Amino acid sequence: MGLLTLLGRAAALGTGLLSATAFAPVSATAQDLYAGKTVTLVVGSAVGGGYDTYARLFARHLGDHLPGKPNVVVQNMPGAGSARAAGYVYSSAPKDGMTIALVQPGAVVGPLLDKSVKANYDATKFVYLASADSGTRVCLTLPNSRIKTWKQVQSEKVIAGAAGTGASNRDYAYLHKNTSGAKFDIVSGYQGMADILLAMERGEVDTVCGLDWSSAKAQRPALAREKKLNVLVQTTLEPNAELDELGVPNIMQFTEGEDNRAIVELIVAQQFFGRPFVMAPGSPETAIKTMRAAFDSVMKDPKLLAEAEKMGVDITPAPGAKVQEVVQKMYTSPQRIVELAAKAIRE
């Protein structure tokens, strides 16, 4: 089965899989495991960004769906596009089912695409609990920017803000520069998306790419409501209806050549698990089953969904088992395309 076929089936089956597992019975052992305890949710980004927003939203509700109703606390651990957090949970945190992480997809696919990075974790062996969003990523500018369209990006020098190696905003900026003709001058080193957006407001940089549309709306809700965000392009395998209505073009319109299109498809496949929650391999089987069931349930919690809507946060869930399958499939992609994709997201 090809990667795109698998993603299509995953999208179609996601809701059914959630429904089937959301109300699995909980054993007395699971009750004993979590009652009176504290679950630590490590988020691989700085305070104030999109991933931090999702982490804190789920921390407020996840405990209600775990036996014994444990407390859930958030610990920010930014660095290397969430690779630091991934490595901590995989190698250092106790494997007792009490520590989980929300990481950027780049931390999952980074070891596949960058062989020079000696990751202290194996992304294929993580236990994937769920993904909170299967999103569309965008490049955008703010109302104060002179850059309003992708055609300008292809014809004028544009300064793109980015965080460090492995961050989606950095990878996608280079991806567009190397496959779609963007004339980006990429300035890296910002701590996170919140800092990049502030730099855009100050006029230090023109644009940011690799930002989830749901995150953009959550971080600048007034601009989104007033349709003042200049969304230059949407990067997705399946067009986003809301962005289509706004007339935002798909990156594939500007991606020429069979190899370039295959590269973009491989990179974009990670958007199926746009907000992946993981647990370390070797965790107790009871904890894995219980946590997956809790995530399946909380994704449908009316209280969480109402709060998410108020915040402008999209919840388009994917079950952990399906995320696990997609990750495994990505890691068996043709080596030639993997190597080309690795070059495309680097300077």
Check residue 114 and give its pLDDT.
Answer: 82
- Which 8-state DSSP code applies to residue 156? S
Taking CA 332 as the corner, what is the angle to CA 135 and CA 265, rounded to the nearest 5 degrees? 35
Residue 143, in any domain of the structure = yes
Check residue 164 and give its pLDDT.
Answer: 85
Judge whether 176 and 345 are in contact, CB under 8 Å: no
Asked if the model's pLDDT at residue 42 lies above 80, the reply is yes
The rounded mean pLDDT for the chain is: 91
Domain boundary among 198, 228, 257: 257
My answer on whether 126 and 32 are in the same domain is: yes
Asked if the model's pLDDT at residue 159 lies above 80, the reply is yes
My answer on whether 46 and 163 are in the same domain is: no
What 3-state class would DSSP assign to 234?
strand
Q: Please report which confidence band the pLDDT of residue 31 belongs to, taking 50, 70 and 90 as the band edges.
A: confident
- Of 334 and 25, the structure prediction assigns the larger pLDDT to 334
My answer on whether 98 and 192 are in the same domain is: no
Residue 264, in any domain of the structure = no
Q: Please report which confidence band the pLDDT of residue 20 belongs to, taking 50, 70 and 90 as the band edges.
A: very low
My answer on whether 35 and 180 are in the same domain is: no
What's the structural domain count of the chain? 2
Judge whether 229 and 223 are in contact, CB under 8 Å: yes
Residue-level length of the chain: 347
Asked if the model's pLDDT at residue 283 lies above 90, the reply is yes
Check residue 26 and give its pLDDT.
Answer: 47
My answer on whether 116 and 161 are in the same domain is: no
Range of the domain at 180: 137-257
State mean pLDDT over 243-254: 96
Give dist(CA 270, CA 125) in Å, integer: 16
My answer on whether 109 and 13 are in the same domain is: yes
What Cα–Cα distance (Å) separates residue 71 from each residue in 64, 85, 101, 132?
9, 20, 15, 20
- Of 7 and 214, the structure prediction assigns the larger pLDDT to 214
Give dist(CA 216, CA 230) in Å, integer: 11
Buried residues in 151-189 as b, exposed as e (16+ CB within 10 A): ebbeeeebbbbbbbbbbbbbbbbbbbbbbbbbebebbbe
Asked if the model's pLDDT at residue 8 lies above 80, the reply is no
Asked if the model's pLDDT at residue 148 lies above 70, the reply is yes
State mean pLDDT over 21-26: 43
Judge whether 217 and 309 are in contact, CB under 8 Å: no
